[in-house]
A = this chain, B = another copy of it.
Amino acid sequence: MGPDALTLTRTFHFSAGHRLVSPAVSEEENRTLYGPCFRPHGHNYLLEVTVGGQPDPHTGMAADLNALESAVRRAVLDLVDHRNLDADVPALTGIITTGENLAQAFWGMLSQALPAGVLRRVAVVETANNTFEYCGERSDGDAE
């Protein structure tokens, strides 16, 4: 059995404002590129965090859910919930806040906040019809 056989996914909610603007192109081109998403708006986002591990035989748990909860809250939710993602989140400065970029940014923020090697997948659900998933390289915790 490989180390990924068992995973646990926890879903979090946050509400945030954003718009899509590329500094590389003109306002006119931004309007064409992003359509209505160029206008300031917002979403009820879901953030799904998947971690892998073996259940501890003494507890039956592969991850300390309380520790996971507080790490995600501290590393991501406290920074983005009820914020304007483009203006009020220093960790996202200079990032176009597409779902793709958010998934990668949250992976980076979470992989530092969680024990090495446990993070498997980050999904950002922007609307019921659009989900962005990122499965980065595992950190060295796995290499041990």
Contacts and interface: CB of A to CB of B under 8 A. Distances in A.
Contacts of A133: 6-9
Q: How many copies does the complex hold?
A: 6
The 10 A-B residue pairs with the shortest CB-CB distance in the complex, in nearest-first order: A42-B42, A60-B96, A36-B82, A17-B17, A60-B98, A17-B42, A40-B84, A55-B100, A41-B82, A24-B58
Given A9-B131, A42-B42, A60-B98, 11 more contacts: A6-B100, A15-B41, A40-B84, A41-B84, A42-B43, A44-B127, A44-B128, A55-B101, A60-B96, A60-B97, A60-B101
Interface size bucket, A side? 35 or more
A66 B129 CA distance: 13
Nearest to A23: B58
Interface of A: 1, 4-13, 15-20, 22, 24-25, 33, 35-37, 39-44, 55, 58-62, 65-66, 81-84, 87-88, 95-101, 103-104, 127-137
